[in-house]
Chains A and B, each alone.
Chain A
Amino acid sequence: MYTQAMSVGPQDAPSSKIKSAEEMQREAAFEARIDAGDFIEAKDWMPEHYRKTLVRQISQHAHSEIVGMLPEGNWITRAPTLKRKAILLAKVQDEAGHGLYLYSAAETLGTSRDQMLDALHSGKAKYSSIFNYPTLTWADIGVIGWLVDGAAIMNQVPLCRCSYAPYARAMIRVCREESFHQRQGYESLLVMMQEGTPEQKAMVQDAVNRWWWPALMMFGPADKDSPNSEQSIRWGIKRVTNDQLRQRFVDATVPQAEILGITLPDPDLKWNEARGEHDFGAIDWAEFWRVVGGDGPMNRERLGARVKAWEDGAWVREAALAHARKQATKEQAA
């Protein structure tokens, strides 16, 4: 569900070693395939930098799905009705599934699941900064569906045409399942705004105020500060730039906010007739980098929860494997 800022995090410079004639030939053939709109499959030859970029992007996307279950999981036991609880459970289960599709896609590139989890747990790999904010009220759950999933969908739809086919296939599946996530969030807010008490309406507005700017940050740094975007676009790993996606998201969200009857917390947000788009205020990039760098409100807690779950589950993983081996030996003996 949630990608962002994939160009954020440790970058690998393109290899500067001298290439052999054969390698250059292969690279030229690869570039030609990309230019022709061909899909690249797992066993096809690809430049090392293409592989590394994809592993980083897909694994960070997978981590985001998994870590993204934590802020929402926080409200499962406190959902206001059985209906809302069932919906939230289904959504969180979807996120787990999306994480698994993506880990599988990344594994086709020759990186093991354990290596990727290691990178997450050691803090080497990033996940979407949005999950380092707390879910303080029930309205946060609706707003996450509406804005956070909305931003994620905006980001992910173009990835269904990613040049790396296993990733594109995973994204098609994810996008198909995800539209319910945004709709259920918006609908739950609609109920609160139309039938709720003044306190409940205020709660929705407060949640929107807290999530609006972090949601805009989900698209990653501005294009001018996103040096790897260009290469990713050339390779068809990325199809639309961060700023273009952010603009699309703002333009799509403004009318939805009006119908909801809430205000987006940006005094500079207004329609620009000449551009045919909305203008909006400056994003606090210092906050973005602080959160990406590990110093957001919930970074330590989120990572701590993941590491604890992994460590607490170790005996189960080992026992299941030991059982499987024992059964296999028994079968062989019989």
Chain B
Amino acid sequence: MSTSTTQNEWPLWEVFVRSKAGLDHKHCGSLHAADAKMALQMARDVYTRRQEGTSIWVVQSSQIVASDPGEKGMYFDPMEDKVYRHPTFYELPESVNHM
């Protein structure tokens, strides 16, 4: 990764697009740009050529903090046996089952 050329590479940005009002911004890819303004403009050209979006967020990839995939099990599996967190866990008489 750390070749001499990499230092002159424009930083990497992650792109999030809201496809229409009322929906979340969703990650759709990444791109290189010198600054935030350029990143937005390029995100528009690269990811919304067919009206895929009504709003764009960009954030430098280096700013994203992610969970460790190696700890996926430790992190997420404890929730597996907490079935009582779901409404379907509770059996109710038919007449009130749609509450």
Contact = CB atoms under 8 A, between A and B. Distances in A.
Q: Number of contact residues on A: which range applies?
A: 20 to 34
A285 interface: no
B3 interface: yes
- The dominant DSSP class at the B interface is mixed
Interface string A100-122: 11001001001111110010000
A34 B72 CA distance: 17
Given A93-B49, A118-B5, A104 B29 contact: yes
Given A114-B6, A317-B8, A318-B8, A44 B69 contact: yes
B50 to A, nearest CB: 7
B5 A320 contact: no
A244 interface: no
Closest 8 A/B residue pairs (Cβ):
A320-B34, A114-B5, A324-B35, A324-B34, A43-B69, A104-B30, A112-B6, A321-B34
Contacts of A321: 8, 10, 34
B1 interface: yes
Nearest to A328: B35
A107 B34 CA distance: 17
Contacts, number: 66
B30 to A, nearest CB: 5
Interface in B42-84: 45-47, 49-50, 66, 68-70
A287 interface: no
B31 A104 contact: yes
A45 interface: yes
27 contacts: A41-B69, A45-B69, A101-B29, A104-B29, A110-B1, A112-B3, A113-B9, A114-B3, A114-B6, A114-B8, A115-B3, A115-B5, A169-B29, A170-B29, A173-B28, A173-B29, A177-B49, A177-B50, A317-B8, A317-B10, A318-B8, A320-B35, A321-B10, A324-B35, A324-B38, A327-B35, A328-B35
Given A43-B69, A97-B49, A101-B46, 10 more contacts: A43-B66, A93-B49, A94-B49, A100-B31, A101-B29, A112-B1, A114-B9, A170-B29, A173-B29, A323-B35
B37 to A, nearest CB: 9
Report the contact-size class of chain B (Cβ under 8 Å from the partner).
20 to 34
A56 B17 CA distance: 29
Interface string A73-102: 000000000000000001001100100110
Interface in B16-47: 28-32, 34-35, 38, 45-47
Interface string A311-330: 00000011011011001100
Contacts of A114: 3, 5-6, 8-9
A169 B29 CA distance: 9
A170 B30 CA distance: 11
A100 B8 contact: no
Contacts of B45: 93, 97
Output the residue of B9, B34, B35, B70 with the most chain A CB within 10 A. B34
Given A97-B49, A112-B3, A323-B34, A45 B70 contact: yes
Interface in A98-153: 100-101, 104, 107, 110-115, 118
Contacts of A328: 35
Given A44-B69, A112-B5, A115-B5, A320 B46 contact: no
B71 to A, nearest CB: 11
